[in-house]
Amino acid sequence: MAQITFNEPEPRLSGKIKLLPWIFILLVIAVGAVGGGALYSAANGSFLPWAKPQLIRFGMSLLVMLAFGLVDIRVWFRLSYPAYVVMLAMLAGVEVAGKVGAFGAQRWINLGFVQIQPSELMKIALVMALARYFHARSSEDAKQIRTLVVPVLMILMPTAFVLLQPNLGTAIMLLLAGASMLFVGGARLWLFATVAAVGLAGAPIAWRSMHGYQKRRVMTFLDPSVDPLGAGYHITQSRIALGSGGLFGKGFLHGTQSHLNFLPEKQTDFIFPLLAEEWGLWGGLVLLGAFALLSYYGIGVGLRSRNQFGRMLAIGLSINLFLYVFINTAMVMGLIPVVGVPLPLISYGGTSMLAVMMGFGMLISVLVHRDIKISRRYPLGD
């Protein structure tokens, strides 16, 4: 039975530091700074209660990102399955001892010294586990149905736990990220078409199992004017903020929708309309362009990796980032129902920021160790 070995020497620390992608790192810092500025504005020109804690967490997460980037990629390979199992256990623990938040959602675990949301960390752990699974299998293997049974179960188990919280936005992200990993791993297109057809056929059953507030979100998406002061209030005010910013915005700290408290959840899910109102269409496009560059860079890192694990890990993490941004911005524009997904590094929140920065760190690790080869002959249990 093959075992993981470190026959290839690990690059020296000084050599790793030279390989760090400083332009990528500076772009991450710039996006984080925009997030701090947006939260400062959301509090009407005050660092409290959101901007100061967010910037402190960002600084700490930045150190985590750099530390992760210097870790040998073979370490991440070894930790892939254990990380998945631990996160799955924590998701199960949420059902037993989780903290109940808004709308009766039970999503957080209090560890005493810190409160975390396991579903956010599972987004990273799932990509790691699937990358390791497909590392040992060729694209031809991935075309066989029996090869896909295990990864499909790996996707469905955490998704089921997240739906129980309930957290529809994160569940959708897990499904889409997992499906993307299956596609990158070599699964046939007809399989996705079949799953989509089954999903459409099962839509009535899914509708009956949805919570009341989730149904209202879907109905509001179809027609916000049905309840403009109730379920449709969020998206109506979001659209007003987006449109009132015009091309160049009203200026920093001069957004009327946010500062007159018309825009709800302006520090979390609906922070992009706040930015668009103050900086306009061009400001919003610049921010989206920065996210696009980060995703594009991550995919490029994956394509340059000499091992399948690094390739799939980098591409999967880049897709994860894209899903964060796409779902959040499409949600606040009214293109999809409101599902509660934060905007990375911009929305207020500790666990989501940590998860994104951990992912960036692993991307850097793939880049720094891109020439290291990992044998593909690893059984599932190693």
Look up residue 225 and give its amino acid.
Answer: S
In the prediction, which pLDDT does 381 show? 41
- State the pLDDT at residue 104: 52
pLDDT at 30: 97
Residue 107 CA to residue 99 CA, distance in Å, equals 6
The whole-model pTM stands at 0.89
Identify the pLDDT of residue 8. 61
**Which pLDDT does position 272 carry in this prediction?**
95
Q: What is the 3-state secondary structure (H, E, C) of the chain?
A: CCCCCCCCCCCCHHHHHHHCCHHHHHHHHHHHHHHHHHHHHHCCCCCCCCHHHHHHHHHHHHHHHHHHHHCCHHHHHHHHHHHHHHHHHHHHHHHHHCEECHHHCEEEEECCCCEECHHHHHHHHHHHHHHHHHHCCCHHHHCCHHHHHHHHHHHHHHHHHHHHCCCHHHHHHHHHHHHHHHHHHCCCHHHHHHHHHHHHHCHHHHHHHCCHHHHHHHHHHHCHHHCCCCCCHHHHHHHHHHHHCCCCCCCCCCCHHHHCCCCCCCCCCCHHHHHHHHHHHHHHHHHHHHHHHHHHHHHHHHHHCCCHHHHHHHHHHHHHHHHHHHHHHHHHCCCCCCCCCCCCCCCCCHHHHHHHHHHHHHHHHHHHCCCCCCCCCCCCCC
Report, in angstroms and rounded to the nearest whole number, the Rg of the chain calculated over CA atoms. Answer: 21
Please report the pLDDT score of residue 112 as a whole number. Answer: 64
Identify the segments of the chain with pLDDT beneath 70: 1-11, 97-107, 111-113, 211, 213-214, 217, 220-231, 376-382
Please give the pLDDT value at position 92. Answer: 87
Q: Are residues 350 and 39 in contact, defined by beta-carbon separation less than 8 angstroms? A: no
Q: Percent of the chain at pLDDT above 70?
A: 87
pLDDT value for 1: 37
